[in-house]
Structure 1
Amino acid sequence: MDDAAVLKRRGYIMGINLGEGSYAKVKSAYSERLKFNVAVKIIDRKKAPTDFLEKFLPREIEILAMLNHRSIVKTYEIFETSDGKVYIVMELGVQGDLLEFIKTRGALQEDDARKKFHQLSSAIKYCHDLDVVHRDLKCENLLLDKDFNIKLSDFGFSKRCLRDDSGRLTLSKTFCGSAAYAAPEVLQGIPYQPKVYDIWSLGVILYIMVCGSMPYDDSNIKKMLRIQKEHRVNFPRSKHLTGECKDLIYRMLQPDVNRRLHIDEILSHCWVQPKARGLSSGAINKEGESSRATESTWTPESTGADKKSATKVEPREEARPEAQLETKPQEDTVQVARQAETVGLTSELNRESEEGHLQQPSETHT
């Protein structure tokens, strides 16, 4: 029985193709029960690799079934047929993803960015409170509903955090996600705190929202790591960002994991809280630095770079010489897993390797 017939028996009228990979595809469909369009991810177990079937798919299904938040894509139904196909029926992001939105319309005004970022941060707090980490936060995985509200999608890299006997979260040792959004500790192969990793990705996303460009050029991973470890964040002068906004981004893109903000600190930050805005230039933050002093460490971009798209980054100025990194990632194996679909088709590139290093995707994964 083909997909259209299977879906018809479940009360869905199959529509257009929204995205396709080597073992999964996403279709639009009209739900006769819900009376609106949905997205249906269809996974063929016969074509999928073993590690995906044994680890990633069970994790994703378990987590999708437990999530219920207004800023997370809803999962309406999950079922499997006897011929080994899994159907995941989800909320449809009718306005596409945030990356395409920014590429088309440019950087967001701070008020619009604040609203969308608050929605996203609330979704991450909800997940983190459940000890669920996303680990693939990027603009392509942020869908927009009919009113342009954020809907977090694609939990293919997500997992439940484990705790040790003392109740502390255990570290993760494997790389996952996209290099452009990955924290420096992840790119270096250092055991990392997965919730803290999510925060770095949030910082990259907010930067893209308000600047319309990437904060770092990931075409040279070694150079990018040097700049990140020096805690250098360059903002376009022409965007006229407020000090509060730059302060928040700067503190999320903190290479020291012990000083990087937690999700509760993000939600309580003066830029995120409209009623508490008006951070004075001499206000002292939790790290013992004034916002004025913090701002002086930013390296402004030249105004000629202001027209960059969110996917193209011009090289920044050379970072200062630094000792070689202890763990040097192979630059030719770090690939940005650009998601071609707008409805959360699980990325098939850069799946984590159990050995804890960057893994070259095999042909069966591309």
Structure 2
Amino acid sequence: MAGKCSQPREWIKGNVIGSGSFGVVNLAINKATGGIFVVKSASSGAGVQSLENEANILELLDSPYIVRCLGRDFSTGANGERKLNLFLEYMAGGSLADLAQKFGGALDETVIQVYTREILQGLSYLHRRGIVHNDLKCKNVLLGPTGNIKLADFGCAKRLNSSQAGSKVSQQSICGTPLWMAPEVLRNEGLDTASDIWSLGCSIIEMATGRPPWADEVSNPMALLLKIACSSGVPQFPTNFSKEGLDFLAKCLQRDPKLRWTSEELLNHPFITRKNVMAPYEEDACSPTSILDVQLNEEDSDSDCDSEPLHNEELSSKVPFSTRYNRFRGRLTRKQQREYDLHSNEKWITVR
């Protein structure tokens, strides 16, 4: 199997670092090598089914833009329940959602351009193999220690009947996260690779604004879902985006899936191919090995160091891929924080 590596035989479970509708995610250490990896565990019927689907798909894949599956095993819980553990590579940078929050809620367009290119590389790899991710959002895009991007969370992923463009798979139940879903998916008309392209557009809006798509209309969730599914509307585009960026979003967010550009076509769009206008940063910029590394000046009073605090201008030069650095998350308004919380597990969950 293409993406399968040597499975950890003896390992130690660490702290919980995430949870979802499927179960929990823990850090883990391979006792034989000392390597750190991630374990996703589920014991419920739906959770086990979701993890099995994720493992079955990931074991077929081998791409630098897709998180690697290291193996899986079954165990018996304390109450005798059957438990599935899925072993995955550890991505030290966290998710794009984590990153945006650490840098004031939104990312600079130049950085969005870089991340979007790598997301498209991952989508192109999947789509050529007849696989639809079906739950693309910033929370499911992870960063490695060098700032590289990998697609993750394939619990909702589907294999098409054929790898040919335009083929569809019918769904007996809707799967994904509602605010990022394409209209045809919410109408349960089946999905194809174009569904991922709509979700990509929504994720770019999320990166650019620090808010979920449709954030201005979440006061009435049911009315909003009907609007996404049945109206002629699209999410509001970022007001500060370039002409190329807005055109790119327009190509992604066509309500008619037949009019959306494919991942291959989007890789040749000017928004992706244009020269990076912030090239002077290339020599000096470095990506964090963890999202914790960006907390350069938070809670200075708790530090025992005597070093001078960095001014905002100095910090911006050290972290050039931020559009606007917040020394404290308090600068996010309560409204913005509520909006971002809407795609947490308590509100908008991944539907499986």
State the TM-score, normalizing by the size of structure 1: 0.67
Counting matched residue pairs gives 279
CA contact (8 A) 1:212 1:310 kept: no
Q: Which amino acid aligns with 2:102?
A: T
CA contact (8 A) 1:179 1:336 kept: no
The CA distance in 1 between the partners of 2:157 and 2:30, in whole Å, is 27
Query: Which residue of structure 2 aligns with residue 103 of structure 1?
Result: 101
Query: Which residue of structure 1 aligns with residue 60 of structure 2?
Result: 66
Mean Cα deviation higher: 131-140 or 90-99: 90-99
Alpha-carbon shift at residue 201 of structure 1 (Å): 0.3
The CA distance in 2 between the partners of 1:42 and 1:249, in whole Å, is 36
The CA distance in 1 between the partners of 2:159 and 2:276, in whole Å, is 34
Query: Which residue of structure 2 aligns with residue 222 of structure 1?
Result: 223
Pair 1:310–1:66, CA change in 2 (3 A): farther
The CA distance in 2 between the partners of 1:264 and 1:349, in whole Å, is 27
Residues 229-270 of structure 1 deviation map (CA, whole Å, 9 limit, x = unaligned): 434453344x3x210001101221111111111111111111
Residues 97-128 of structure 1 deviation map (CA, whole Å, 9 limit, x = unaligned): 11121122132112211111111111111111
Alpha-carbon shift at residue 36 of structure 1 (Å): 2.8
The CA distance in 2 between the partners of 1:96 and 1:209, in whole Å, is 14
Alpha-carbon RMSD across the aligned residues, in angstroms, is 3.2
CA contact (8 A) 1:133 1:160 kept: yes
2:71 to 64, 73, 77: 77
Does residue 81 of structure 2 align to residue 87 of structure 1?
A: no
Q: Unaligned regions of 5+ residues in structure 2, if any?
A: 1-7, 278-331
State the TM-score, normalizing by the size of structure 2: 0.69
Alpha-carbon shift at residue 26 of structure 1 (Å): 1.6
Query: Which residue of structure 2 aligns with residue 203 of structure 1?
Result: 201
Pair 1:187–1:336, CA change in 2 (3 A): farther
Q: Which amino acid aligns with 2:254?
A: Q
1:312 to 327, 339, 346: 339
The CA distance in 2 between the partners of 1:349 and 1:96, in whole Å, is 18
Pair 1:200–1:40, CA change in 2 (3 A): same
Tell me, what secondary structure is at the counterpart of 1:16?
strand
The CA distance in 2 between the partners of 1:157 and 1:77, in whole Å, is 19
Tell me, what secondary structure is at the counterpart of 2:272?
coil
The CA distance in 2 between the partners of 1:85 and 1:37, in whole Å, is 21
The CA distance in 2 between the partners of 1:311 and 1:172, in whole Å, is 34
Residue identity (%): 29
CA contact (8 A) 1:98 1:140 kept: yes
The CA distance in 1 between the partners of 2:165 and 2:138, in whole Å, is 33
Mean Cα deviation higher: 192-201 or 212-221: 212-221
Q: Which amino acid aligns with 1:203?
A: G
CA contact (8 A) 1:141 1:152 kept: yes
For 1:1-366, what aligned pairs fall within 5 Å after superposition? 10-20=9-19, 24-44=23-43, 48-49=44-45, 51-53=46-48, 55-81=49-75, 84-105=82-103, 106-163=105-162, 169-173=167-171, 174-189=173-188, 191-216=189-214, 217-220=217-220, 221-223=222-224, 225-226=226-227, 229-237=231-239, 239=240, 241-275=241-275, 309=336, 312=339, 338-339=344-345, 350-351=351-352
CA contact (8 A) 1:103 1:310 kept: no
The CA distance in 2 between the partners of 1:92 and 1:207, in whole Å, is 26
Tell me, what secondary structure is at the counterpart of 1:96?
coil
Alpha-carbon shift at residue 22 of structure 1 (Å): 7.5
Pair 1:276–1:265, CA change in 2 (3 A): farther
CA contact (8 A) 1:140 1:338 kept: no
The CA distance in 1 between the partners of 2:184 and 2:15, in whole Å, is 40
Query: Which residue of structure 1 aligns with residue 318 of structure 2?
Result: none
Q: Which amino acid aligns with 1:222?
A: A
Mean Cα deviation higher: 63-72 or 208-217: 208-217
CA contact (8 A) 1:79 1:88 kept: yes
Q: Unaligned regions of 5+ residues in structure 1, if any?
A: 1-8, 278-305, 314-334, 341-346, 352-366
